[in-house]
Amino acid sequence: MIKFLDLQKINLLHQDEIEARLIKTFRSGWYLLGEEVKQFENNLSAYIGAPHAIGTANGLDALRLIFKAYIELGVMQPGDEVIVPANTYIASLLAITDNNLVPVLVEPDINTYNINISLIEENISPKTKAIMIVHLYGQVIFDAELKALAQKHNLKIIEDNAQAIGAAWQGVRTGNLGDAAGFSFYPGKNLGALGDAGAVTTNDELLANTIRALANYGSEEKYVNKFQGLNSRLDEMQAAVLDIKLQYLDTENGIRRQVAKYYNENIKNPLIILPEMPSDGNNHVWHLYVIRTPERDRLQKHLADNGVQTLIHYPIPPHKQEAYPQLNHLSLPITEQIHREVLSLPISPVLTEEEIKKVADTINNYK
């Protein structure tokens, strides 16, 4: 069985370093808001190119905290609207609605699965305060038109960078393209912790300070509470692991690019639509390799019967979820088609040549 993602193998690549650092952190007797978090935040900030990085408990909290901070700062108010791609993972919407902001869903481009920038302006209202871009599956969504649109309408650009750490647009990394970005270090992400972890990056010092306080009970000074905050801290053990794995991220993303290239060159089946290769390879870090086919469930069964595990990202779009009755009436045909047809193939830095060949061959045998 070829696993969709072999997390054990991925983390054992760095076994000696990780184990030594975890033992050191364990023995230090200091488990929160210490040197490991500080060092990882500094290294993440340098890697992304944004002057501020703040560790959080997970990716959802990173995004929630960005909106919460903008509300505390008076930049946004409950009831304001945020533009978001309709086919994103539910967490992007939860970060918006948890802050009593209103998500305005915009259809993606069927070829890139990213938000269709040309549809954004018609969805802007006097209440719109932000565009949340999601670099879905690891591919950058950003261009000069989007930047100009945000400037023209005085909108914040917030990046959901949970899936695209390491990708870059014209030499600028995701996480440094907009006003603030949320990262997830969920174990299966390209930079994965050994549990939950996340971060925010921004070049806005006031926003950074507000988020840091909000994530720690709304406190800048112990027992002095400036805001009604929450408890969402990155812990020292996770920061230690992430700080090691960050050093290997570019190499591992490079291997993902090779796997994607192999699939694109070797899967030749007219029933299957392959993802586009971006002309600038840096635009994609291939968190997921997503193909599309009308009879997706039949293909998934064919692969499973032949020992290849696949997943669907995602089977139900946010506007069809029971959690969002206020969105259930929407008709978003491209989004709905994507959710019916997509399938994610195994991709990771630890797949062998034999395994990727088997995946491609099995798809080529599908009729």
**What is the closest distance, in whole angstroms, from the C-beta atom of residue 64 to ligand PLP in the complex?**
9
Beta strand pairing call for 172-173 and 289-292 = unpaired
Q: Which of 279, 297, 299, 285 is nearest to 348 (CA)?
A: 285
User: Which is closer to ligand PLP, CB of 66 or CB of 291?
Assistant: 66
**What is the closest distance, in whole angstroms, from the C-beta atom of residue 85 to ligand PLP in the complex?**
9
**What is the closest distance, in whole angstroms, from the C-beta atom of residue 134 to ligand PLP in the complex?**
5
CA dist list (Å): 5 to 2, 13, 243, 309, 349? 8, 14, 21, 9, 9
Q: 156: Cβ–Cβ under 8 A, 6 or more apart, which residues?
A: 70, 75, 76, 129, 130, 131, 150, 178, 179, 180
**What is the closest distance, in whole angstroms, from the C-beta atom of residue 337 to ligand PLP in the complex?**
19
Helix 249-266, helix 353-364: angle, nearest 10 = 30
Q: 325: Cβ–Cβ under 8 A, 6 or more apart, which residues?
A: none
User: Which is closer to ligand PLP, CB of 136 or CB of 345?
Assistant: 136
Beta strand pairing call for 81-85 and 128-134 = parallel
User: Which is closer to ligand PLP, CB of 187 or CB of 254?
Assistant: 187
User: Which is closer to ligand PLP, CB of 91 or CB of 207?
Assistant: 91
CA dist list (Å): 175 to 40, 159, 214? 15, 6, 20
Vertex 125 angle, CA 119 and 126, to 5°: 150
**What is the closest distance, in whole angstroms, from the C-beta atom of residue 223 to ligand PLP in the complex?**
29
In the complex, which residues of this chain contact ligand PLP (CB under 6 A)? Answer: 58-60, 88-89, 91-92, 134, 160, 162-163, 184, 186, 196, 198
**What is the closest distance, in whole angstroms, from the C-beta atom of residue 59 to ligand PLP in the complex?**
2
User: Which is closer to ligand PLP, CB of 162 or CB of 360?
Assistant: 162
User: Which is closer to ligand PLP, CB of 163 or CB of 362?
Assistant: 163
User: Which is closer to ligand PLP, CB of 134 or CB of 177?
Assistant: 134
**How does DSSP assign 95-117, residue by residue?**
HHHTTT-EEEEEPBPTTT-SB-G
**What is the closest distance, in whole angstroms, from the C-beta atom of residue 335 to ligand PLP in the complex?**
14
Residue 163: count of CB within 10 angstroms of its CB: 26
Residue least distant from ligand PLP (Cβ): 59
